[in-house]
C-alpha cells in the first residue's frame, strides 16, 4: 500500500484535541504491540490498539473513528498496565467515544436495549452501558 504523508496531516488539530481530552501524547507510543497483545477484544476490533496509536500518530483520526474499536473497548486497562511507555489506549478510545457522544450521536439508542436485559441486568451494567453508548 502506498501511503502519502504530509506535515499538515501529522499536525492534525483533531489529534491534538484528542490529546487534550485524553491527557495522552500519541508520540510516546513506540509500536511494541504489547497493548494489542494484552487487549481481550483486539480480536474483534477492526483496528486493534497498536494500530489505533499508529493511525493517530499519522494524523488519520478518521480511519479510527470509522472503525468499531472505540465501541468495543471494555476499559479493562490491560493495555495501560502492560504499556512500557505508560500510554493508555483506553483513555484515547474513551476520548474518541466521548467526543462522538457529546455531539449527540449514540452507538445504541435507549429504545434498542432489550427489555429482558433491562429487567435482569445488574444496574451497574445499565448505568455504565448508557454512559458508554448513549449520546
Partner 1 sequence: MKIPYYPGCTLNTVAKQFDTSAREAASIIGFEMKELAQWNCCGATFPLTPDNVIGLTAPAKVLSNARKEGDTLTTLCSVCYNVLKRTNKVIRDNKEKRNVINGFIEEEYDGSVNILHYLEVLRDKVGFDKVKGAVKRPLTGIKAATYYGCMLLRPFEDIGIDNAERPTIFEDLLRALGAEPVEFANKIECCGAHLAMNNEEVVTNLSGKVMTSAVDAGADLIVTTCPLCQFNLEKSQPKVAEADTGYRPVPVVYFTQALGLALGQDIETLGFEKNSSDIMPLLKKKGIA
Q: Is residue 90 a contact residue for ligand SF4 (CB under 6 A)?
A: yes
Q: Is residue 50 a contact residue for ligand SF4 (CB under 6 A)?
A: yes
C-alpha cell, 2: 502506498
At a CB cut-off of 8 Å and minimum separation 6, what does 18 contact? Answer: 26, 56, 61, 92, 95, 96, 99
The binder of 32, among partner 1, ligand SF4, none, by C-beta within 5 to 8 A per type, is ligand SF4
Q: Is residue 26 a contact residue for ligand SF4 (CB under 6 A)?
A: no
Crossing angle of helices 13-22/89-102, nearest 10°?
110
Q: Which is nearer to ligand SF4, 22 or 78 (CB)?
A: 78
Only one of the segments 1-9, 32-40, 56-64, 122-130 lies at the binding site for ligand SF4 (rule: CB under 6 A); that segment is: 32-40
Q: How far is the CB of 35 from partner 1 (least distance, A)?
A: 13
C-alpha cell, 129: 452501558
Q: How far is the CB of 1 from ligand SF4 (least distance, A)?
A: 20
Q: Is residue 75 a contact residue for ligand SF4 (CB under 6 A)?
A: yes
d(CA 95, CA 23): 9
Largest separation between any pair of C-alpha atoms in the chain: 52
110: which DSSP letter? Answer: G
The binder of 26, among partner 1, ligand SF4, none, by C-beta within 5 to 8 A per type, is none
Amino acid at each position: 500500500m502506498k501511503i502519502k504523508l504530509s506535515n499538515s496531516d501529522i499536525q492534525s488539530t483533531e489529534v491534538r484535541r484528542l490529546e487534550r481530552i485524553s491527557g495522552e501524547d500519541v508520540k510516546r507510543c513506540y509500536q511494541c504491540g504489547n497493548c494489542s497483545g494484552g487487549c481481550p477484544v483486539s480480536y474483534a476490533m477492526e483496528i486493534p490498539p497498536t494500530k489505533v496509536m499508529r493511525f493517530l500518530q499519522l494524523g488519520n483520526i478518521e480511519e479510527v473513528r470509522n472503525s468499531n474499536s472505540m465501541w468495543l473497548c471494555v476499559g479493562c486497562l490491560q493495555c495501560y498496565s502492560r504499556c512500557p511507555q505508560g500510554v493508555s489506549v483506553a483513555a484515547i478510545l474513551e476520548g474518541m467515544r466521548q467526543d462522538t457522544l457529546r455531539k449527540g450521536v449514540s452507538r445504541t439508542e435507549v429504545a434498542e436495549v432489550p427489555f429482558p436485559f433491562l429487567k435482569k441486568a445488574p444496574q451497574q451494567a445499565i448505568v455504565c452501558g448508557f454512559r458508554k453508548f448513549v449520546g
